[in-house]
Amino acid sequence: MKVTGPAVLWERTSADKAVRSFEDAYAVVSGQLSALAEDNPIFEAHLEMLQDPMVTDTVQANMAAGMQPLKALDSAGNAIASMFAGIDDEYLAARVDDVRDIFRRLRDAMTGNSSPQAEFPEGGILVAEELLPSDTSKIDFSKVRGILCAKGSTTSHVCIIARSKGVPIRVGADISGIREGDPVEVEDPLVGGQEEVVSKLRAAGRKVYVNAGSISDIEAGIAAGADGVGLFRTEFLFIGRDSEPGAEEQESIYSQALLSCGGKPLTLRTLDVGGDKRIPYIEIPAEENPFLGLRGVRLTLARPELFRTQLKAVLAAARSVRALRPEWFADQSPLRLMLPMVCLPKEIRQVRAILEDIDPGYRGLVSLGIMIETPAAVLGAEALAAECDFFSIGTNDLTQYVMAADRGNPGVAYLYDSYNPAVQSAVRAAVRAAHSAGIPAGICGELASDPLATEMLVSSGLDSFSLSKL
């Protein structure tokens, strides 16, 4: 899909003249954050941080030392951000972005600049250097017509979310000469070309699933005719809050998700964080190579309480929905539990042991599958297939690990190519291993939605395709 519209710069070059005092700007920002906090806990945390006396004290001390008000603000913001960055505590260090956000708001309020997040004009094209997962939760996608980003990869968090909302996005764009209001164009083959993909897949007799990050994504996908959900990224329930959702909250969401599928398969992926997806309240010791570190099932197995809460909630949701709609479970449960970042058969056995311990009847409630995302999973696919009920190929990560190219690093973007014969040969090898073991293999990476890849992927023998949006 190609869209055009006026550029709205995410990071505006702020005017250098204050039109409001710091105290008045503080009151304005306080009001903005109080209103935003009603719907989103991120802003509640921002409000608390704003109210920390350190903010006002540092700015006022700078002014008392003779600095101009804007300079005093910038200098206080930098000092507080560096202080957080230097703290030897993952949770606090991760709050640097929050500090920057608050000081940007204060600066906008002092200079009279309107913050793009707060007043995004309907139909604009968002232009940014980089959009991090924490930025993504602030974007009102209903107003954004398209997104241009200088950094990031086609499988970065913001791309996944934008496409799931039907918003075209281009990363790796040259945004250097673009000014506020300039007419800009975004072309994204992964948005809007889905009818063609769906009809080719249907003609080839493949199941067409949809990827989802929320109940509304599930509802929209099923309403658009999906045969089920091929990937429910449960980490979105954990992002943008101060503590993990409890067992009851999770059970209610998973039950709603199952009910929204109306008996069609729901592939629920267990919490997939670590790597570039950090959650402040899930502490991970500093790592040299986070993408090779504690992420996906490695992390959840290392945090039994966190994992057990999620698995308990999944099984309880399956039980309660089965009591309501036993016919959905008659042949096979519609709930497919899926593990991310699996490398070893032992990891699957460990998860089975936890499931068995929570509920010895778990096999009637869920089937258990894995994502194929690592070279180890491809090369060891035969042994993995013997332990589980299905494979789903995650080409977003599989590409990064086969090509040894970080999915978010523009410097190696030329290597991050899901069409590369090495990646495609990995896809075919995984499908062959699944079929020899008598289990199905699907794909749920972004490549599944690419109209240019459909024929190649169909000929690999993949049984199902889970698209970013239908």
Based on the shown chain and the rule CB under 5 A, indicate whether residue 397 belongs to the binding site for Mg ion: yes
Q: Closest residue to ligand PEP, Cβ-based?
A: 394
List the single partner that 98 binds among Mg ion, ligand PEP, none, CB under 5 to 8 Å by kind: none
Question: Cα separations (Å) of 55 from 60, 126, 194?
Answer: 9, 30, 49
> Quick one: 15 exposed, middle or buried, by C-beta within 10 A (0-12, 13-18, 19+)?
middle
In the annotation, is 46 catalytic?
no
Q: What does the chain come to in residues?
A: 470
Partners of 136 in the beta sheet?
Answer: none
Based on the shown chain and the rule CB under 6 A, indicate whether residue 442 belongs to the binding site for ligand PEP: no
Q: Which CB sits closer to ligand PEP, 99 or 271?
A: 271
Based on the shown chain and the rule CB under 6 A, indicate whether residue 239 belongs to the binding site for ligand PEP: no
- Asked if 181 contacts 39 with a C-beta cutoff of 8 angstroms, the reply is no
Helix, strand, coil percent content, the chain, rounded in steps of 5: 50, 15, 40
Which segment (171-179, 203-211, 239-247, 396-404) binds Mg ion by CB under 5 A?
396-404
Phi, psi (degrees; rounded to nearest 5) at 19? -110, -5
Which of helix, strand or coil describes residue 368?
Answer: strand
Which is catalytic among the residues 46, 149, 157, 261? Answer: 157
Based on the shown chain and the rule CB under 6 A, indicate whether residue 155 belongs to the binding site for ligand PEP: yes
DSSP 153-189: -TTSHHHHHHHHTT--EEES---TT--TT-EEEEE-T
Based on the shown chain and the rule CB under 6 A, indicate whether residue 445 belongs to the binding site for ligand PEP: yes
Q: Where are the beta strands (DSSP E) in 237-378?
A: 266-269, 335-339, 367-372
Q: Which residue has the tokens 């939605």?
A: 449
Closest distance of CB 341 from ligand PEP, Å? 8
Which segment (11-19, 90-98, 185-193, 393-401) binds ligand PEP by CB under 6 A?
393-401
Q: Which of 397, 406, 450, 463 binds ligand PEP (CB under 6 A)?
A: 397
Which segment (53-61, 225-233, 317-325, 395-403) binds Mg ion by CB under 5 A?
395-403
List the single partner that 155 binds among Mg ion, ligand PEP, none, CB under 5 to 8 Å by kind: ligand PEP
List the single partner that 445 binds among ligand PEP, Mg ion, none, CB under 5 to 8 Å by kind: ligand PEP
In the annotation, is 157 catalytic?
yes
Other C-beta atoms closer than 10 Å to the C-beta of 105 total: 23
Contact positions toward Mg ion, by CB under 5 A? 394, 397
Contact positions toward ligand PEP, by CB under 6 A? 155, 231, 233, 272, 373, 394-397, 444-445
